[in-house]
A = this chain, B = another copy of it.
Amino acid sequence: MERKTLLIECPDAQGLIAQITNICYKHQLNIIRNTEYVDPVTSRFYMRTELEGYFNDQTLLFDLDRALPQGSERRLVGRGKKRVVILVTKESHCLGDILMKVFDGSLELDIAAVVGNHADLQTLATRFDIPFHHIDHTTVSREQHEQLLLVQIEQYNPDYLVLAKFMRVLSPAFVARFPHRIINIHHSFLPAFIGAKPYHQAFERGVKIIGATAHFVTNDLDEGPIISQSVANVDHTYSALDMAKTGRDVEKNTLSQALALVVDDRVFVHGNKTVIL
């Protein structure tokens, strides 16, 4: 007996759930958990089904393809760990939290490598026996730097790139290589404080709550589909530095939550939003 997750998105139609669950039933697959969502604006149908049984992937997908309307996407995902490459700059808290969660089994990821534009976090990665590649951005052009990043990243053939406080803006060409496969943690409660130095902006504005946002990266800076957000209370005694310090915990928790959802194949991208089933 195996467990797999069936992920479907397609234009809505009457009887869809019946048809899909019928096919699963004919394949003698037991539905462990099932969630659907129909977007009322676009009438797009999303479904995530955890199945248990003896799988014949090919015939199952064949049967589904005959039943599903045009414009459908479907995937049958096994339980293996997702492989990620983590990009970092100097700050360690997000990388550290992921390393600790992988270490204790809370996050079922395979961290193939850590890549930094600075060498600061080499020791940390090495302590957890993860390969670290320092790719300095100061001696090369932006294009060359991204080219060097790509060479290192692609040897690992990762499912996802995780920007764990990677403080460089990636070019559209780079992003296009990994559509909806780059996850970033932004250190503000987007769309507040887009851009640089959000904690300084938050401090100047005198907010009483700060936040962090984990999102897929698209070509528009800080504008990709949001996966998760969380917040923390602050007050007038907080300097911009205190906010940043408090923010670290919010950032690492938010990124880890987003990764847990992605690892579980629970995140669909729907235009500039996410549907989380």
Contacts and interface: CB of A to CB of B under 8 A. Distances in A.
B236 A275 contact: yes
A276 B91 CA distance: 30
Secondary structure of the A side of the interface?
mixed
A91 B101 CA distance: 11
A263 interface: no
A81 interface: no
Q: Classify chain A's interface size.
A: 35 or more
Contacts of A101: 93
A249 interface: yes
Contacts of A237: 33, 37
Contact of A225 (B34, B206, B225): B206
A209 interface: yes
A206 B272 contact: yes
Contacts of A33: 37-38, 237
A35 interface: yes
Indicate how many identical chains form the complex. 4
Contacts of A39: 236
A209 B226 CA distance: 10
Interface stretch (A10-18, A147-155, A172-180): A10-18
Given A15-B25, A39-B236, 10 more contacts: A18-B22, A40-B239, A106-B245, A127-B127, A192-B192, A205-B226, A206-B225, A208-B226, A208-B228, A209-B231
Interface of A: 14-15, 17-18, 21-22, 24-25, 28, 30-40, 91-93, 96-97, 100-101, 103-104, 106, 124, 127-128, 189-193, 204-209, 211, 225-231, 235-237, 239, 245, 248-249, 253, 256, 270, 272-276
